[in-house]
């Protein structure tokens, strides 16, 4: 079997997605997600201009060799654009291999390690009572794990909460600017979880995302005050470019720590793992080099008691979710999968075999990844440039959004 053609499909059913489709001379094709939120066309160009010409004529069965060719052959290693491009090729090749062997990809990864992949949904409140209501409504839908975010009084718009009236595009900027005040957030977050736990008890896992906004000592302070509310994890408390900074957090709290949705390689987290500075690594199939690399990262983490909790927000396409679930159902130390919302249009563009039931996600039994792209429908949704918001502190200093 040979790769006969590869094409990059950019579509925007409610938000931008970049998909790589690899076709073969035996009529089998595979697809991979290449979406990098806010920088989509950088990956689309990297694939179309530099990667696709290297693929034509190759044997799609040689997944590891293709991965190494694209990683070492680029000379300029790592980085979110390169690794998302490699990830898309990797997902598509696993998809082809599963279809050629007429089996779901998870069977090629050692088979099932569990009956379903525990997942978590998002409860995002305007107020604490609103957040509690959203938690309860997800519990009624069967969720066993729920991430809780809430507007902090005095901070109009912030990550993970409904956008307030004051949100809006400044005419002179192509992106939205949000405000931030750490001291208000630190006073509020323990109160939020005290009231949520009071209302719903301890039979559901609660997670929280600090979205890279704290310093290590602030994260230690917050983690200590959240210990009684038994969080499944406190996520992205601190940016992890300086991996050793998590030592300071660890010294102050036993609240489990998760980090790494922005990681694109094992090299971004090997110290965090070796020193057991975190409990969960959030790297994903689309941003960390695909199934091949994410499996290596998980295997490296296993003896250090570090588990995976893959990122799965709505800006990762249903193709990524499919690949993540074949990874999640088969990998021993895969602990939980984020389950962000996709629009109905997105589900229609990307028909898939994966499904949610009773708090778990299932990859389905279709050969390959069990997902495809409806190119005709995709062509109806024009790409439109979009940016992630930028965060500024009260004094105007740029922060982490
Ligand atoms: C968030 C993401 O889901 C999460 O944990 O951190 O929603 C993140 O903000 C987006 O994926 C960024 O594109
Ligand atoms: Mg996050």
Q: Select from 238, 259, 354 the least CA-distant residue to 307.
A: 259
Angle at 121 between CA 117 and CA 122, to 5 degrees: 155
SS3 label, residue 91: helix
| CATH number for the domain that contains residue 320 | 3.20.20.120
Mutate to test the pocket of ligand 1, among 15, 311, 338 (most ligand atoms within 8 A of CB): 311
CA dist., res. 45 & res. 26, Å (int): 27
334 domain-assigned = yes
Tens of pLDDT, residues 100-148 = 999 999 999 999 999 999 999 999 999 999 999 999 999 999 999 999 9
Instruction: Give residue 16's pLDDT.
Output: 98
Instruction: Give residue 170's pLDDT.
Output: 77
SS3 label, residue 95: helix
Closest residue to atom 6 of ligand 1, CA basis: 211
Q: Are residues 15 and 100 in the same domain?
A: yes
Q: Are residues 117 and 211 in the same domain?
A: yes
213 domain-assigned = yes
Ligand having the closest approach to the CA of 391 = 1
251 domain-assigned = yes
- Per DSSP bridges, beta strands 360-362 and 117-125 are antiparallel
Domain that holds residue 297: 108-366
32 domain-assigned = yes
Q: Are residues 297 and 340 in the same domain?
A: yes
Q: Are residues 85 and 200 in the same domain?
A: no
Instruction: Give residue 171's pLDDT.
Output: 82
Q: Select from 333, 325, 273, 265 the least CA-distant residue to 298.
A: 333
Q: Which ligand 1 atom is the nearest neighbour of the CA of 282?
A: 5
Q: Are residues 25 and 74 in the same domain?
A: yes
Instruction: Give residue 111's pLDDT.
Output: 98
Q: Are residues 170 and 305 in the same domain?
A: yes
User: Which sequence positions are flagged as catalytic?
Assistant: 159, 211
62, 88, 104: which is the final residue of a domain? 104
Instruction: Give residue 90's pLDDT.
Output: 99
153 domain-assigned = yes
Q: Are residues 234 and 298 in the same domain?
A: yes
- Contact 397/128 with Cβ under 8 angstroms? no
Instruction: Give residue 131's pLDDT.
Output: 98
Q: Are residues 213 and 313 in the same domain?
A: yes
89, 104, 119: which is the final residue of a domain? 104
- Contact 129/370 with Cβ under 8 angstroms? no
User: Could you tell me the two tokens for 108?
Assistant: 């090629």
Q: Are residues 194 and 307 in the same domain?
A: yes
387 domain-assigned = no
Task: Write out residues with Cβ below 6 Å of ligand 1.
Answer: 37, 209, 211, 261, 311, 313, 315, 338, 340, 388
104, 127, 158: which is the final residue of a domain? 104
Ligand having the closest approach to the CA of 36 = 1
| CATH number for the domain that contains residue 14 | 3.30.390.10
CA dist., res. 372 & res. 35, Å (int): 15
User: In 10 A of CB 342, how many CB atoms?
Assistant: 23
Angle at 131 between CA 126 and CA 135, to 5 degrees: 150
Helices 182-200 & 216-226 angle (0-180, nearest 10): 20
373 domain-assigned = no
Q: Are residues 182 and 264 in the same domain?
A: yes
Closest residue to atom 3 of ligand 1, CA basis: 313
- Number of structural domains (the chain) is 2
Closest residue to atom 1 of ligand 1, CA basis: 313
117 domain-assigned = yes
Which residue in this structure is represented by tokens 């800006």? 315
Instruction: Give residue 156's pLDDT.
Output: 75
* Ligand 1 centroid – CA 315 distance (Å): 8
Closest residue to atom 2 of ligand 1, CA basis: 313
Q: Are residues 192 and 297 in the same domain?
A: yes
* Ligand 2 centroid – CA 370 distance (Å): 26
Q: Are residues 279 and 332 in the same domain?
A: yes
Instruction: Give residue 259's pLDDT.
Output: 98
- Contact 160/235 with Cβ under 8 angstroms? no
Instruction: Decide: pTM greater than 0.85.
Output: yes
Low-confidence ranges of the chain (pLDDT < 70): 164-169
Instruction: Give residue 53's pLDDT.
Output: 98
Q: Select from 28, 72, 36, 33 the least CA-distant residue to 54.
A: 72
């Amino acid at each position: 079997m040979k790769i006969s053609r590869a094409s990059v499909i950019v579509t925007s059913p409610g938000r931008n997605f970049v998909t790589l489709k690899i076709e073969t001379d035996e009529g089998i094709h595979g697809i991979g997600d290449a979406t990098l939120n806010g920088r989509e066309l950088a990956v689309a160009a990297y694939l179309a201009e530099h990667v696709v010409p290297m693929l034509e004529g190759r044997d799609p069965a040689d997944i590891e060799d293709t991965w190494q060719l694209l990683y070492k052959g680029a000379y300029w290693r790592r980085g979110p654009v390169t690794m998302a491009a490699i990830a898309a090729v990797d997902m598509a090749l696993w998809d082809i291999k599963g279809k050629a062997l007429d089996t779901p990809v998870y069977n090629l990864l050692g088979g099932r390690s569990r009956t379903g992949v525990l997942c978590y949904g998002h409860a995002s409140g305007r107020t604490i009572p609103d957040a509690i209501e959203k938690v309860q409504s997800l519990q009624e839908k069967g969720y066993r794990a729920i991430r809780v975010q809430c507007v902090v009084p005095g901070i109009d718009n912030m990550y993970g909460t409904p956008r307030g009236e004051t949100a809006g595009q400044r005419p002179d900027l192509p992106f939205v600017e949000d405000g931030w005040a750490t001291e208000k957030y630190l006073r509020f977050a323990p109160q939020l979880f005290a009231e949520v736990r009071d209302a719903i008890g301890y039979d559901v896992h609660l997670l929280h995302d600090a979205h890279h906004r704290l310093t290590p000592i602030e994260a230690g302070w917050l983690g200590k005050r959240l210990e009684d509310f038994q969080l499944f994890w406190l996520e992205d408390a601190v940016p992890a470019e300086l991996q050793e900074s998590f030592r300071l957090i660890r010294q102050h709290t036993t609240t489990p720590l998760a980090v790494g949705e922005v990681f694109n390689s094992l090299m971004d987290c090997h110290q965090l793992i070796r020193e057991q500075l975190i409990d969960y690594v959030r790297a994903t199939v689309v941003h960390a080099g695909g199934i091949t690399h994410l499996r290596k990262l998980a295997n490296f983490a296993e003896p250090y008691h570090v588990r995976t909790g893959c990122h799965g927000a709505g800006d990762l396409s249903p193709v990524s979710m499919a690949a993540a679930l074949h990874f999640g159902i088969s990998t021993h130390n895969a602990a939980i999968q984020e389950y962000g919302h996709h629009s109905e249009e997105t589900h229609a563009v990307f028909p898939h075999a994966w499904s949610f039931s009773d708090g778990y996600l299932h990859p389905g039994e279709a050969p390959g990844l069990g997902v495809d792209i409806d190119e005709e429908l995709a062509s109806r949704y024009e790409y439109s440039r979009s940016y992630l918001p930028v965060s500024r502190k009260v004094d105007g200093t740029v922060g982490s959004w």
